[in-house]
Chain A
């Protein structure tokens, strides 16, 4: 025992922790380029804005360029990439650069060919509308995603829809630019008494089955377009009545651009079209247009977000297509059934949010109406906490003489 103690004393204080930068001979070289490369894809974070990697991590990787090589830092970033990309391994390799005294860093990402994830894409409580939630399990096999899930959502639409969802998303094809997606869902519907009163009985349905094949194509780095069809079968409320078909062509375009600097900015614009047509044997003929614009400005812990969107329905659309305001994402604090229990075919909405760290304040304003009616503008304000998708907030609808706060908690992706 005394020798063990003696050894401890002998080595004690003799050797301390050693920084890799002190011992690694390559730490005198400057990083010329950094590339993150996976199965069939690669990105240079200093140049590209690949959305596989979060903005924060991408910036840290990009910041390696021009700095002296620090192998410990590479280990740390490889570990974080592995966690973020849920990869099996992330190895970093260092190669000679094009110029003497410079080196190139390559992070090689190896994703397991098969993995299974469980996600909760929605889970929230809203004081007026109760609970909504969804849970999904996704098996990814060679970049093909197979998803099955359960959902009960009383927040997004006029109806509360409860059922199962199954989805297949193909691996990227056409030079990583395109993905094919098939979604099948079957829902049981519940209607709020005020909607039942406002609607004609023939407009309500008991069940809704959906099949939606969509092809998404990335035209250029910030622009993605999608095309497809949506086949919906609406089971009638009345026993013995024939189900109605609400089949539509669907198309969309999404533009997303991030501008990084001392102030980080992100601009997103989108447009979605759903066109019900008798050509698809649909019982409804309509077109539904929805466009949106979102701007985000970030500086340190400060973040300012403006989110505007509007919508227009021409023709007679089924209830699930009608617009809603007064839920967990729009005119927060208002009750959608008080605003328009039947949903509207015209809508405009704007939301301004300011976040400082986890604290958030917001101001929503918007109007929902039907063509031929006068639009009534409404507003609400609120405050709370937000961390990623998780949010707790108290929202106050601004109306004459009354202040009825609504509590909301949950996560919404």
Chain B
């Protein structure tokens, strides 16, 4: 199996394991961002684990695909480390990296909103009048999964594809996609500085 076929299979499989629903998108002129008004990912088993003082890692991936809906041309993976303060009853979210960013004392809704605001993909270089697909994946990751996804050099795309291609193990997995053309999108102001 060639790398291309493997990649294609990797992108196709999530559609089999989780129903792709329609995606609302915000565009600020430079970046595209999913709008997840009805998605509450801090809940269920993830919330149970958080209330046991565990860290829950949410992995998101935004993929831009050509018109054929198969060939990817841009990826934007992101990971969020969420924990729940068992004394304060508030959440902390950290985006790790060379200069980690954190928000402390958030409600569940605020924590979700801050995560979503940091799930962006650059639209620079995308022709305004050209059709393309935007796919959004979000799921929790076990710390042991992180070892195969995150290496010393950063997030491994192949590890990420393999991870998002796995059969659901009871963990929620959101997959949404939408056909887009930048020229059709109404520009909204960026919310990243809230």
Query: Are A15 and B94 CB-contacts (below 8 A) given A4-B157, A24-B53, A96-B86?
Result: no
Q: What is the distance, in angstroms, from A412's C-beta to the closest C-beta of chain B?
A: 38
Residues of B within 8 A of A72 (CB): 143
Across the interface, A23 reaches (CB within 8 A) one of B72, B77, B83, namely B83
Residue B114 is within 8 A (CB to CB) of chain A in the complex: no
Give Cα A103 to B96, complex, Å: 26
Give Cα A101 to B102, complex, Å: 21
Residue B54 is within 8 A (CB to CB) of chain A in the complex: yes
Residue A98 is within 8 A (CB to CB) of chain B in the complex: no
Residues of B within 8 A of A41 (CB): none
Give Cα A239 to B98, complex, Å: 87
Is B52 a contact of A94 with CB atoms below 8 Å?
yes
Q: What is the distance, in angstroms, from B84's C-beta to the closest C-beta of chain A?
A: 7
Tell me the A49-106 residues at the B interface (CB within 8 Å): 69, 71-72, 75, 91-96, 100-101, 103
Residue B25 is within 8 A (CB to CB) of chain A in the complex: no
Residue A29 is within 8 A (CB to CB) of chain B in the complex: yes
Residue B152 is within 8 A (CB to CB) of chain A in the complex: yes
Residue A314 is within 8 A (CB to CB) of chain B in the complex: no
Residue A8 is within 8 A (CB to CB) of chain B in the complex: yes
Give Cα A170 to B96, complex, Å: 52
Size bracket of the B interface:
35 or more
Is B152 a contact of A17 with CB atoms below 8 Å?
yes
Across the interface, A15 reaches (CB within 8 A) one of B79, B90, B92, namely B79
Size bracket of the A interface:
20 to 34
Is A3 a contact of B86 with CB atoms below 8 Å?
no
User: What residue in chain A is nearest B102 (Cβ atoms)?
Assistant: A23
Q: What is the distance, in angstroms, from A9's C-beta to the closest C-beta of chain B?
A: 9
Is A12 a contact of B92 with CB atoms below 8 Å?
no
Q: What is the distance, in angstroms, from B165's C-beta to the closest C-beta of chain A?
A: 15
Residue B194 is within 8 A (CB to CB) of chain A in the complex: no
Residue A195 is within 8 A (CB to CB) of chain B in the complex: no
Residue A338 is within 8 A (CB to CB) of chain B in the complex: no
Give Cα A15 to B80, complex, Å: 12
Residues of A within 8 A of B73 (CB): 3
Residue B178 is within 8 A (CB to CB) of chain A in the complex: no
Pick from A15, A20, A71, A92 the residue with the most CB of B within 10 Å. Answer: A15
Pick from A24, A29, A96 the residue with the most CB of B within 10 Å. Answer: A24
Is B152 a contact of A25 with CB atoms below 8 Å?
no
Is B92 a contact of A25 with CB atoms below 8 Å?
yes
Is A95 a contact of B87 with CB atoms below 8 Å?
no
Chain A residues in the interface with B (C-beta under 8 A):
1, 3-4, 7-8, 11-18, 20, 22-26, 29, 69, 71-72, 75, 91-96, 100-101, 103
**Apart from A7-B157, A26-B84, what are 7 other A-B pairs with CB-CB below 8 Å?**
A7-B77, A12-B154, A15-B97, A16-B97, A24-B92, A29-B87, A71-B55
